[in-house]
């Protein structure tokens, strides 16, 4: 094909082999650098996963309590809507009793000493809000119970 002598062909083959060796060394160095970067990224991802899951791998208390709250909403919804009208009045009486316990706890929260430390102001504000809402629930419950009982009274002529 070409008019190369054996010596020239041998020289070119040796040059190509040297170039291939250099390319292989460069590729090896690049692979080592990429491995180093991959190790750093993997270590960072592992640290992020450990931080996200918590150092002990346990569920955060807020997530646990919030899930209980959401489940209580669903259970309460199905319990309330499955109650027959005849049981509504006793159920309201029990609800009023529960709200009265909430009022006691809210009064205790409102009475927290302001110098008690961090979070005392938040406890007082949330306690006041709970006190107002529970009071509205109690008085509304008594109003509804009174109206329900009036439905069962005999009408006077």
68 has a pLDDT exceeding 80? yes
Backbone φ, ψ for residue 149 (5° rounding): -65, -30
134 touches 106 (CB < 8 A): yes
Which tens digits make up the pLDDT trace of 31-65?
676 666 666 766 666 666 666 655 556 778 888 88
pLDDT of residue 49: 62
Which tens digits make up the pLDDT trace of 102-151?
888 888 888 877 677 777 888 888 989 999 998 888 888 788 778 877 87
Residue 83 CB contacts under 8 Å (≥ 6 apart), including other chains: 91
Q: Classify the phi-psi angles of 117: left when phi > 0, otherwise alpha if psi is within -120 to 50, otherwise beta.
A: left
Mean pLDDT of the chain: 77
The residue among 52 and 20 whose pLDDT is bigger is 20
Residue 71's pLDDT band, with cuts at 50, 70 and 90, is: very high
pLDDT of residue 128: 92
The structural domains of the chain, with segments of one domain joined by +, span 1-58, 85-152
């Amino acid at each position: 094909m070409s008019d190369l002598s054996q010596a020239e062909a041998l020289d070119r083959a040796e040059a190509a082999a040297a170039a291939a060796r250099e390319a292989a060394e460069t590729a090896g160095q690049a692979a080592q650098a990429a491995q180093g970067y991959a190790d750093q990224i993997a270590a960072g991802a592992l640290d992020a996963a450990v931080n996200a899951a918590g150092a002990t791998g346990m569920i955060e208390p807020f997530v646990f309590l919030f899930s209980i709250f959401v489940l209580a909403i669903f259970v309460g919804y199905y319990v309330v809507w499955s109650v027959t009208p005849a049981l509504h009045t006793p159920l309201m009486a029990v609800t009023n009793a529960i709200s009265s316990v909430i009022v006691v706890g809210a009064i205790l929260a409102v009475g927290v000493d302001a110098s008690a430390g961090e979070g005392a102001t938040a406890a007082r504000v949330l306690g006041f809000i709970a006190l107002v809402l529970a009071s509205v629930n109690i008085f509304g419950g008594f109003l509804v119970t009174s109206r329900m009982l009036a439905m069962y009274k005999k009408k006077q002529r």
